[in-house]
């Protein structure tokens, strides 16, 4: 067992993946956005320069290049950096990569990973704070992994690269410096297996990405008031582990879903629908969502803080389902 | 002119052109009778480009094509019955009925993905080329698209990548909008580009580009062969615009056959409706090729008619195969959209 920062765990995964499989190529970016830890990317580049390219600012072009390379047997991992930039590559991601396996009748495999940093990052404003995972969840053919801890980022990244399907790897810059324990010789984390991040008996809080961390802080504060929140992290949206969430609700009978995508047709909306369809009889209170408000993300700090799934909004929602 | 090839190879090119022609002339009535729905596009009129160009490739090279893919697949040797079955949405189709006309593929022949988005394949073709370079396997990629594809932003982005990384890819732009004899200017134009000639676009990215007559099988064969050699020698991407005159049957919203093809049309087009006659007289690459074979004494009219007769028989059998192939089971719709590792 060792303790690592999230970014260190992520780069340990990248190192091990690059060392283990020469089909893996890293396309664009540093996988760390503008983090001060960018030197670790240079360390990787010193070792594997021939398998790393920094293409021109052509998201459509290089996402297509990566997709084509995957069809030909490489395992490219593309860093789109800011999540909103995937909109520039939409035709290649949503209309070529996602469809190729199905429309070829199961003949052409596309083992490409599209990595991005989503969400509210502090001053990103409307064009650099996007959370495209909800839209991407509406595109059949894409797997979506969304880690929230050092152990998960390492284990899920390995599974994403090993997958034979196009995979969206949804990261968050506010996670990069959190610390957590990773067991020695930890195995890749299979997709479709949720993780109970905190045990509790009163309310189930389903959360993803950085909002898991916000939810855990909210849960600690609520515990001081005598409310025990169980925090469930799906870890992947596609495939989705509904069973773990339902078994938590079996115990708590109450659920709040907190997530940074916008509320309408957002990640929380889809999870709520699935719970309502399959677990309605277990519920003693309406499902509550804590999502980013349905407005373009504003720049100014108090405005940005106001629209996100904050600790205080999560705490209010938890109390409301107990009322 | 004829490609500089032995007689057997020339006759094989002729046979492949007939396969495409009779395949598509049989497809149109199937659609008109409601045997399949959805839109589709004909390759007729471009056989003089696709057939000799694709004959220059090695068995393990990659090809990408678009919604206008039937000719490319057939030129490469796809079984007509499998392609018919795919277009008819049948279980025995190339893609088990999941792709249809727009998306027919044949991975064993190098066709990994066919896109109905006009420039969708251009970035993808840089990807297989990038992979081949990394894998040092000598495979090159040919990306076959129409002039309209250049209007989408994916094209210049891909040209930039291909040029920067000197990728082994041939961009073969089939411009079927060359003005024909007696045609009103713009009547046949299918693209609207400020960059004109079209070769100006790849040239801006330092990709060697040339414009050729796509109805001249010999010129196509020689030009493609030379371009492929440069790519194999590591010189990076090449761009060729092959110009053909749009088939009158493709000028309408839904394809039509103005005149069923027959070898004798090479010398007598009096049976062709007047509106389409000039195209068959001077712009049909198959009929041009037939005349050249006879003039060069590589084959007699009867020998060519015999080749055509065999092809027509094979196409009739292929149509029957497709019509008798079952539809996929409805629940197949929920399968095969994720690969199992």
Contact A64 B128 (CB under 8 A): no
End-to-end CA distance of chain B: 50
User: What are the tens digits of pLDDT across the range A142-190?
Assistant: 999 999 999 999 999 999 999 999 999 999 999 999 999 999 889 999 9
Question: What is the model's pLDDT at position B335?
Answer: 87
Question: What is the model's pLDDT at position B113?
Answer: 98
Q: What share of chain A has pLDDT > 70, as a percent?
A: 100
At A90 the three-state DSSP class reads: helix
pLDDT at residue B183 greater than cutoff 80? no
User: What are the tens digits of pLDDT across the range B132-164?
Assistant: 999 999 999 999 999 999 999 999 999 999 999
Question: Can you tell me the distance from the alpha carbon of B304 to that of A96, in angstroms, rounded to the nearest whole number?
Answer: 41
Question: What is the model's pLDDT at position B187?
Answer: 47
Residue A261 belongs to what H/E stretch? strand A255-262
Q: Which of B174-178, B222-226, B282-286 is the least confident region?
A: B174-178
Contact A51 B134 (CB under 8 A): yes
Distance of residue A165 Cα from the nearest chain B Cα, in angstroms: 6
Question: Can you tell me the distance from the alpha carbon of B90 to that of B83, in angstroms, rounded to the nearest whole number?
Answer: 10
Question: Can you tell me the distance from the alpha carbon of B180 to that of A25, in angstroms, rounded to the nearest whole number?
Answer: 48
Per CB-CB distance under 8 Å, the chain A contacts of B158 are: 61, 64-65
The mean of the pLDDT values for chain A is: 97
The mean of the pLDDT values for chain B is: 95
CA quadruple A95, A98, A103, A107: dihedral positive or negative? Answer: positive
pLDDT at residue B184 greater than cutoff 70? no
Q: What mean pLDDT is predicted for residues B32-37?
A: 96
Question: What is the model's pLDDT at position B186?
Answer: 45
Q: What mean pLDDT is predicted for residues B10-20?
A: 98
- Give yes or no for a contact between B161 and B123, defined as CB atoms under 8 angstroms apart: yes
Closest alpha carbon to A80 in A112, A120, A47: A112
Which residues are CB-neighbours of B16 under 8 A, at least 6 positions away?
B47, B51, B55, B74, B75
Question: What is the model's pLDDT at position B185?
Answer: 46
CA quadruple B280, B286, B288, B291: dihedral positive or negative? Answer: negative
Per CB-CB distance under 8 Å, the chain B contacts of A70 are: 127
Question: What is the model's pLDDT at position B326?
Answer: 98
Per CB-CB distance under 8 Å, the chain B contacts of A69 are: 127-128, 130-131, 134
Question: What is the model's pLDDT at position B194?
Answer: 87
Phi/psi of residue B185, nearest 5 degrees: -60, 140
User: What are the tens digits of pLDDT across the range B316-339?
Assistant: 999 999 999 999 999 999 988 899
Question: Can you tell me the distance from the alpha carbon of A203 to that of B46, in angstroms, rounded to the nearest whole number?
Answer: 67
Q: What share of chain B has pLDDT > 70, as a percent?
A: 96
Q: What is the ipTM of this complex?
A: 0.96
pLDDT at residue B180 greater than cutoff 50? no
- In a mutational test of the B interface, the residue from A105, A106, A142 whose CB has the highest number of chain B CBs within 10 Å is A105
Chain A interface, Cβ < 8 Å to B: 25, 50-51, 53, 55-56, 58, 60-74, 76, 91-92, 95-96, 100-109, 140-141, 143, 162-165
What confidence tier does B190 reach under pLDDT thresholds 50, 70, 90? Answer: low
Contact B131 A69 (CB under 8 A): yes
A96-A99-A100-A105 Cα dihedral, nearest 10 degrees:
-160
Question: Can you tell me the distance from the alpha carbon of B299 to that of A196, in angstroms, rounded to the nearest whole number?
Answer: 77
- Give yes or no for a contact between B49 and B338, defined as CB atoms under 8 angstroms apart: no
Question: Can you tell me the distance from the alpha carbon of A298 to that of A313, in angstroms, rounded to the nearest whole number?
Answer: 18
What confidence tier does B189 reach under pLDDT thresholds 50, 70, 90? Answer: low
pLDDT at residue B196 greater than cutoff 90? no
Q: What share of chain B has pLDDT > 90, as a percent?
A: 90
Question: What is the model's pLDDT at position A31?
Answer: 95
Q: How many CA atoms lie within 13 A of A46 on its CB side?
A: 5
DSSP string covering B102-153, please?
HH--BGGGTEEEE-SSTTTHHHHHHHHHHHHHHHT----EEEEEEGGGGGST
Question: Can you tell me the distance from the alpha carbon of A137 to that of A59, in angstroms, rounded to the nearest whole number?
Answer: 20
Nearest by CB to residue A105, choosing from B126, B160, B336, is B336
**B160 phi-psi bin (left φ>0, alpha ψ -120 to 50, beta other):** alpha
Task: Please indicate if any CB of chain A lies within 8 Å of the CB of B32.
Answer: no
Q: What mean pLDDT is predicted for residues B262-281?
A: 96
Q: Which of A28-42, A239-253, B62-76 is the least confident region?
A: A28-42
Nearest by CB to residue A103, choosing from B98, B160, B338, is B98
User: What are the tens digits of pLDDT across the range A86-108?
Assistant: 999 999 999 999 999 999 999 99
Question: What is the model's pLDDT at position B177?
Answer: 85
Q: What mean pLDDT is predicted for residues A14-38?
A: 95
Distance of residue B39 Cα from the nearest chain A Cα, in angstroms: 16
Q: What mean pLDDT is predicted for residues A4-28?
A: 97
Which residues are CB-neighbours of B175 under 8 A, at least 6 positions away?
B146, B147, B191, B198, B214, B241, B242, B243, B244
CA quadruple A86, A90, A96, A99: dihedral positive or negative? Answer: positive
- Give yes or no for a contact between B5 and B221, defined as CB atoms under 8 angstroms apart: yes
Please state, in angstroms and as integers, the Cα–Cα distance from residue B49 to each residue in A184, B61, B82, B194, B224, following that order: 60, 18, 23, 25, 10
Nearest by CB to residue A64, choosing from B98, B123, B134, is B123
Distance of residue A313 Cα from the nearest chain B Cα, in angstroms: 37
Which residues are CB-neighbours of B213 under 8 A, at least 6 positions away?
B219, B242, B243
Closest alpha carbon to A207 in A290, A266, A302, A136: A290
pLDDT at residue A282 greater than cutoff 80? yes
What confidence tier does B179 reach under pLDDT thresholds 50, 70, 90? Answer: low
């Amino acid at each position: 067992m060792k303790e690592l920062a999230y970014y260190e765990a992520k780069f340990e995964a990248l190192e091990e993946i690059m060392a283990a499989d020469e089909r893996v190529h890293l396309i664009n970016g540093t996988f760390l956005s503008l983090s001060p830890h960018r030197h670790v990317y240079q360390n990787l580049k010193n070792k594997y320069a021939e398998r790393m390219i920094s293409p021109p600012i052509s998201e459509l072009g290089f996402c297509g290049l990566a997709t084509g390379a995957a069809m030909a047997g490489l395992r490219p991992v593309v860093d789109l950096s800011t999540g909103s930039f995937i909109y520039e590559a939409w035709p290649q991601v949503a209309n070529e990569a996602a469809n190729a396996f199905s429309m070829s009748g199961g003949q052409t495999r596309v083992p490409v990973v599209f990595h991005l940093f989503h969400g509210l990052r502090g001053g990103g404003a409307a064009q650099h704070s996007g959370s495209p995972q909800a839209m991407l969840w509406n595109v059949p053919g894409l797997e979506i992994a969304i880690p929230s801890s050092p152990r998960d980022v390492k284990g899920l990244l390995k599974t994403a690269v090993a997958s034979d399907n196009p995979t969206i790897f949804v990261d968050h810059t506010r996670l990069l410096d959190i610390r957590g324990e990773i067991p020695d010789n930890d195995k890749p984390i299979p997709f479709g297996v949720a993780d109970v991040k905190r045990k509790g008996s009163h309310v189930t809080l389903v959360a993803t990405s950085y909002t898991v961390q916000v939810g855990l802080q909210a849960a600690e504060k609520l515990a001081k008031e005598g409310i025990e929140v169980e925090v469930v992290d799906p870890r992947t949206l596609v495939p989705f582990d509904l069973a773990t969430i339902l078994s938590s609700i079996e115990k708590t009978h109450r659920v709040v879903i907190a997530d940074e995508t916008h509320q309408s047709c957002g990640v929380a909306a889809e999870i709520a629908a699935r719970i309502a369809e399959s677990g309605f009889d277990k519920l003693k209170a309406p499902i509550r969502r804590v999502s980013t408000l349905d407005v373009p993300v504003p720049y100014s700090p108090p405005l940005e803080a106001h629209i996100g799934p904050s600790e205080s909004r999560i705490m209010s929602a938890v109390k409301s389902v107990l009322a | 002119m004829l490609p500089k090839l032995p007689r057997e190879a020339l006759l094989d090119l002729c046979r492949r052109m007939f396969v495409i022609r009779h395949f598509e002339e049989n497809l149109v009535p199937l659609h008109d009778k409601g045997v399949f729905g959805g839109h589709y596009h004909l390759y007729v009129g471009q056989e003089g480009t696709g057939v000799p160009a694709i004959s220059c490739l090695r068995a393990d090279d990659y090809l990408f094509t678009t919604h206008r893919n039937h000719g490319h697949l057939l030129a490469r040797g796809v079984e007509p019955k499998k392609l018919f079955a795919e277009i008819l949405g049948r279980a025995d189709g190339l893609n088990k009925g999941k792709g249809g006309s727009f998306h027919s593929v044949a991975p064993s022949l190098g066709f990994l993905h066919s896109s109905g988005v006009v420039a969708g394949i251009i970035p993808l073709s840089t990807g297989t080329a990038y992979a081949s370079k990394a894998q040092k396997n000598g495979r090159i990629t040919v990306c076959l698209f129409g002039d309209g594809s250049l209007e989408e932003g994916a094209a210049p982005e891909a040209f930039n990548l291909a040029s920067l990384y000197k990728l082994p890819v041939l961009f073969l732009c089939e411009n079927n909008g060359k003005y024909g004899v007696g045609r009103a200017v713009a009547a046949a134009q299918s693209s609207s580009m400020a960059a004109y000639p079209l070769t100006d676009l790849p040239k801006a990215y330092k990709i060697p580009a040339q414009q050729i007559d796509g109805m001249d099988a010999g010129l196509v064969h020689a030009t493609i062969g030379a371009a492929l050699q440069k790519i194999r020698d590591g010189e990076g991407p090449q761009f060729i615009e092959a110009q053909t005159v749009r088939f009158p049957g493709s000028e309408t919203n839904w394809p039509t056959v103005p005149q069923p093809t027959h070898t004798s049309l090479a010398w007598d087009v009096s049976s062709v409706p007047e509106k389409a006659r000039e195209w068959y007289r001077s712009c049909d690459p198959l009929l041009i090729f037939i005349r050249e074979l006879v003039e060069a004494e590589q084959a007699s009219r009867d020998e060519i008619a015999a080749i055509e007769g065999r092809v027509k028989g094979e196409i009739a059998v292929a149509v029957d195969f497709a019509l008798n192939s079952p539809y996929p089971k409805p629940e197949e719709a929920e399968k095969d959209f994720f690969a199992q590792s």
